[in-house]
């Protein structure tokens, strides 16, 4: 970990705020750490959001990670949103990647090893595992079955095809 690498520092501040909240229930300190992270890195991930044990944040500016259920090997890049609709949050499988400005909103499931492409939005819909969701040249959302190495797998030293 390099404290001068802002993505790693954003992850460190989230872990610190989450640990303070879990260990002490001190909302005041946890909130201060949350706001510091938001001010420094432009990320909104509350200290009580249960991020997975294994995750990666890339270029955190504009990213909002709500209280969804996240699987390990999760990757989120800039401008992503994971949020609720009518108090229902998404269920995100293992090895899921969110490319810039993609969103997952509401009561939906994103299957393991799936990727949401740039500007793609999943709203109140389920995505099967091993799929890519993307916006085509006409601005319409498309879905296709992936084959081969996933975008997310590039960041981890594991074979995500074995991840369920």
User: pLDDT tens, 17-58?
Assistant: 999 999 999 999 999 999 999 999 999 999 999 999 999 999
Note the pLDDT of residue 164: 60
CA distance 157 to 159: 7
CA distance 7 to 10: 5
CA distance 63 to 76: 8
């Amino acid at each position: 970990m390099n404290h001068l690498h802002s993505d790693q520092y954003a992850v460190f501040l989230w872990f610190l705020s989450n640990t303070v909240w879990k260990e002490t229930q001190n909302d005041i300190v946890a909130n201060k750490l949350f706001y510091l992270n938001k001010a420094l890195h432009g990320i909104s991930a509350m200290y009580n959001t249960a991020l997975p044990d294994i995750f990666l944040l890339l270029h955190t500016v504009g990213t909002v990670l709500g209280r969804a259920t996240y699987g390990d090997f999760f990757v989120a890049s800039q401008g992503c949103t994971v949020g609720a609709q009518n108090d229902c949050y998404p269920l995100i499988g293992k090895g899921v990647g969110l490319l810039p400005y993609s969103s997952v909103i509401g009561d939906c499931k994103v299957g393991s090893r799936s990727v949401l492409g740039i500007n793609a939005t999943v709203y109140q819909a389920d995505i099967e595992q091993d799929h890519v969701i993307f916006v085509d040249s006409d601005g319409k959302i498309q879905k296709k079955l992936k084959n081969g190495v996933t975008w997310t797998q590039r960041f981890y030293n594991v074979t995500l095809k074995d991840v369920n």
